[in-house]
Structure 1
């Protein structure tokens, strides 16, 4: 039988639909059935369940037929069919096919990206949304990103969709742009468009939360490639305003973008003028772990200047206490390594260094670091088979922060052993910085 609480079946193969068995058992036990949606007023229904974008005579959840590799050429030709219904069916079928790696590579070799880019400004909103979703899948492959970015007109098309279309299309276009900006080579081509950063900063102010979050990730990748253009567009001031947002994801995203801006000398000067060290101190005690990680990463770059070190000296006891406590979080190695980096930066100030040696040296030496078997490369621990369901083969957990390499196409890959070895080296460096003495002493 099917258990709705555990999202699993008692047996993998059954000749009868398990839900039918559940209904038969409930009927035999005379168990009353009540749906919360039938109550007046309807419960658990915050908005209409009917989609605002729908395709007539097309099942939006499945393709018309199961195409093989030989049928993909027919699909590509049908994208420009004069029959609007055939065109919609072809788009829905392509959206299903690009989720299979082999079929996606075949479609890329058939230059499907060029045909999709030509259809992006079609007056039908369903076509616009589905094309953005297909391009998002194609952008996850190196060959797909290379083919898409060979037509710079896509940048203008995405800007047009994000600025003037309805929210579903804006979200799909923002997702496509975010996937394209994950590649460094694509960032170079994107930054050649002078209006892209200005348009993203304009839409960040008054858009939906999910779209703002995608734009923040795009700006973070673009600022990592070249922080000069965002700084000229007043991105620092806008990110500072987003620190007071109610959504913790937006606050963390704004801090991540600010981190890339503070890597530049102008960003460090602006951080000192706005006193970011004092402003970030309150976020170290936040109840959201993603905000704490982003705040510590930002402190790692805002405490590099002499002015920020002497400002940190004014709240030396409270700031060092918070950072040392964050170092004692063994289940979050990214938080540990960044907190220790901040303490190393503060050790350049003699008064802070003496304070750490007098009060916190023994506690710093007792920092425990995870082993390879205890850490899976993410900053959050997830439990398969408990509340999320037993069928782990079909699960997809999104939103868990993964430690990334500094460069290359495989940005989500991680060598756990080398990262933990790096944490141990940073701990030893912090102990040496505490015990360092000036040649005058």
Structure 2
């Protein structure tokens, strides 16, 4: 059954122990769009107060100067849910619980994230416990080192940008879960009803205007997808979600071939397109942030995750409705070398990193078109305990659709 449209304010009494007494009722809260007091968001390492400009929160350094205009979503990016009749779409969701809360410790950051995941994604106790257990095993997994992170945009600024653009993400019945879209090939005459897989609209935790989770190893990314009832996407699913057409696995992989040969064959014949169109335009996506000063090759104590909230750029969306496949954080995916290694077949293959990241307007490290496959950077099996994770690397999940026939 598809969840009803978000109604987060009903959870606010539990999540807002310091809520402003003047709020007369939860209904009034929803109607007024009020938010929690900033808490410790005013610290030097958290985003600024509501009156702060975007320029004041970018910070850090970059290999080149990025025009200030590229730090905000294009004003002409007004979109309804791709493939959905806008008139039939649901109304925009209210502000996230504790929208302006930016804790200064990793533990507090995680707890606030769990609360929002429970409120927005309706996680039950079993799923939340599984998520907590995975986070608890890591010293770094979260939304970036809170002592260093200077997010390029706040949750509130993200929400306001989406409201100005008229963004509405309607539930997709075939997916049976919030914030997912079906994968199919319109050029082959398929429709949403033909989909056999769905993909998250947003980077994990798959909540619009929430900051993506980073520092997950490939193994932890796969475990977290499983914990919430999904799976890590196969590379061709991510690519199809970006390009707007899902192709069959046998057409997308040279199974049995050496990875380098398989990659070359794929890249040589690939369609070159971006989620937003046929011409590259980094300004449409979350690419104009900065690295932390002193951040070189990486490291928890040197590199802040200066990303944007997911979905903050309404123009950076694919024809199927997937956001941020260019910019923000790069993403773990599964690369199968044999059919049985497809996660959609219940298996697990090798690591693959997809997309670009939050400084790409100033430092274009590699191609970032939808169907490009990377060299074997930090290549391991997905299940390897030593698989890679870093400050600008996140992930998103997919789920198989069971045929009703």
Instruction: State the TM-score, normalizing by the size of structure 2.
Output: 0.29
Q: Which has the larger radius of gyration?
A: 1
Higher relative contact order (CA closer than 8 Å, sequence separation 6+) = 2
Query: By percentage of residues, which structure has more helix?
Result: 1
Higher strand share: 2
